[in-house]
Structure 1
Amino acid sequence: MKNYEAYGIEDFIQDLYFRQWVLEKLPERDRFWNDWITAHPEQHVIIEQAKTLVVAFQYDDLPANTEEVSFEISKILNGTSDKKNSPFYNSIWFKAAASVVIVGGLILLTQDLWRDSSFTTALSDQSGQIDYQEINDTDFNKNVFLNDGSIVTLFPKSNLRIASNFGQTTREVYLTGEAFFDIVKNPRKPFLVYSGKIVTKVLGTSFSIKAYEQDADVSVSVKTGKVTVFKKEKPDQARLSEEIILTPNQQAVFLKEEERLVKTLVKNPGILTASPQTPFQFVYSETPISKVFADLEHIYGVKMIFDEELLKHCSLTATLTNEPLFEKLDLICETIQARYEVADGQILIYGKGCR
């Protein structure tokens, strides 16, 4: 049994069984590669690179000189050229395929991807290194498995570009559109998402970014963990802009026209500490309002700021169920004749007190 876990791009390309699978020449009942890829998501990027080259070449057999094949493949991946004469390198089909890969034209990976209009492209940057771009032109979400084990759920009409040096010192991707990120924690290699003029930096967490080009703003919303968001400075500016740190249920919004970052809350904050098996009970009987606000702060992870001395005589008798947080606050504030507003990712409560 071959040790495919140790394979690199060249190894996969030179593997006849792999090439037959890519070119759909195996029996339909042969599910080995589908099952193997599902079990090894960390190999996703390498597999996609190898598939791209195999489809570009469209061949079944390779010349016997495998060292020469490996040399030519390495040249394509590194964006280099060589004037060495050999039948393999000088053949018309090889030059055409190499040009397609280096220029970064759209290459269909499989017929299924063509039908779904969801495919991977190879893009060459100025240094000759190849970036990979996942494009989702379907009406369904698409999971993208990164080689560090992280998973990106790419929403319809969105694309994700994966840097050629992903995982070496940092983990960098570029998003246009909308995606949910579930990032594997690695303190030594921070994860950076570039979306328009803002950068989102995490070590390991889950969060969403909405960054469609036609929208008036870009938003970053945190589900778990902690996220840092800042404006992308110009190349000649060494220092980073002021950072916004987000925790669960908080959101950063970049207003494009004003080029300003604003910290706020997500549209519908979710309960953080309770589970479906042990739901939190919002049952109150003449309960001091300070206790009610403390419960909400603990359950939703959102800071509640109010004048405790002024509201010390206020209490609540009510049973709150599955209402969203803001509906709960509407009910509470109506009861104690108060109002609230969201500012800087916190909730400020204003009231005149109770008799």
Structure 2
Amino acid sequence: MDKPYQHIADFLEDESFRDWVLGKGNVRSLYWENWLKAYPDQAGILFDAKEILQALERENVEDEQWHNADQKRLLSSINASIDRAEDRPLKGKFREHYPARAHQFIWLKVSVILLLMVAGAALISNLDNITHQDGIGQEELAWVEREALPGEKKKVFLPDGSSVVLNAASKLRYRAGFGTAHRDIILSGESYFEVASDSLLPFRVYSGTLMTEAMGTAFNVSAFEGEATEVKLVEGKVKVELQPEVNAEVDRIYLDPGEQALASSEVFAKGKFDQRTALLWTEGTLYFDDQPLADVIKALERWYGVTIKAEGNKHSALRVSGEFHRDNLENVLQSISYSFDFDFNIHQKEVTIQFN
């Protein structure tokens, strides 16, 4: 997180960035997702650089020499694109209008040319088509967000035909072009995915410290802040990668149906899960299986959209088991209170639990 790059050239000159975009080696994509979180105002520059690399890669032709005429043609295309950037500010959430400083644009040109010479690519026709359109539309660079607020569930249909059930207090984000140029999603909270098959575009979910990749499958991801991240596979097959911020070997787990990957600060491991109960939340059922009371309180806060304050002398080892189908908060608390001897008061969105 120590590289707050300012210009497209900064990314193009970074070998690890090029390897990440082009999918080479064991490069941690989560590093760049975390970078985006640390420098959100630079997101537009990063994605501009990423789009340039992806466009170039699509036109890469093996064993084809890059002739001088090709170089001149490509440079002309880049010049035209840069000239438009100088003449017209680009609006949008993550776009930035760069001052017309000549040395920045020169570095951009040089960086792209050097990159292509190293790659040995022809890469001409598509880039020409891209740069001679009427500018890149704002919608191509925008983020799309879908959110289920505390106290609600939401079903979302994605542009590629996949569907997602968002649990309470959960959010997913993806860039425009989903389903045609990529199928990458950033998730906070919990969601159940039913993924449409696509042999060309893998479906990737970035959640906490994990990246889950699937081609066509059904799986559940839980990644609430401050809690372990879990991936539970229902159908198909997925690859789950642990992606720490440092550049080290990628830890990877492949899951079959009925298996889960769990990642916390202490462990990254594969295990089994109960398929009968794992997705009850998608049907409106709260299910607790010998869970600590503190975890149950957090789940109730998300589920009902309330804030719960516990007072009095409660035992730290209290654990809760129970199943509640589309029940109201008062009934749930009443049921739990029988086992743990507490009183409670509900006032609008504020709940107080008083242990006796």
Tell me the TM-score normalized by structure 1. Answer: 0.38
Larger Rg computed on CA atoms? 1
Using the size of structure 2 for normalisation, the TM-score is 0.38
